[in-house]
Structure 1
């Protein structure tokens, strides 16, 4: 029988610092990824030949490769390839940001093309320019359809920050690994880390669900 010893997890400063790092990376990379997604999503919708191929290639690359590989590559391989060492904090978050951007671009593209063809044709008949119809007719309707997948992707992004521990970013999972090595109590430590993720994500998920219902 295994005797649990929960006293090993009571290091408040360790967990609070790690939680701050986790939330910071989640918020910053989500916002930056959404901005990238809007830009590349617009390119995908506009279908400008050369730019479309660049955007499509970017989305395909980052949606079709594991996020862990992307993080490791930006942290270790990119400096060797380019000869320029990125700041550690920036290199660690770059993979997360571009990963979020790729999925956000596809969400944006899907939301826009989901608008009925008649809406596009009617705005064209009325003489609206492409950007005018996008701003006043298409995007307001598409945004409501984008909210649920964007919220889900943002929640997933917070959980994805756990992968940053492999490049020594002091997030929740890195703190758990460090504490496990000093206490040899992985069950207690990782269970407590999971409870911290649950405590953060549960209210966020409930608020997001209510927001989705309203939209």
Structure 2
């Protein structure tokens, strides 16, 4: 993959008065745009406007709070004979948040995401994070809740336990990435690579109060 961009943009964030929670200072981080966190469903009209790869990675850089570092693709997944039209790119945390991720986990993730992209009619998948079981917490207005880690001084997102899922971006091509979302899975010894996608919301075990029990969830960018 070609080298990506290194840009520093001024943040649109509005300062929020922090609240004390034990030894943490909880604030909020503004959502990237006015349309972020508006739910998109496959039965809705398909988005006609997307963002480019460059803009997406600028957004990821801002979220990381490391504007002086590039966000780079770690690998581009090989073309699949089953879904040759679907291209998968791994960004940053390509192996998931476990230190013991196997290549079967990676291949299983790619298989599920190719099938999901094909089902939804998208041709590009960018994996923001492999399988993990935490999710950000949000204020009522959709902003991400954050806290200052007193040990390191770094601002981190406030997270809660969640069912295992992948965080992805989907689009028509690398210049038209249109939705972001969570693709939930279930560990199943009878399935390929021991994992299968959640198709029925009843398979979900952990649903946070601010979310609806859904099989997978997508939002506009």
Q: Same fold (TM over 0.5)?
A: no
Kindly indicate which of the two structures has a greater share of residues assigned to helix: 1
Kindly indicate which of the two structures has a greater share of residues assigned to strand: 2
Tell me which structure has the larger Cα radius of gyration.
1
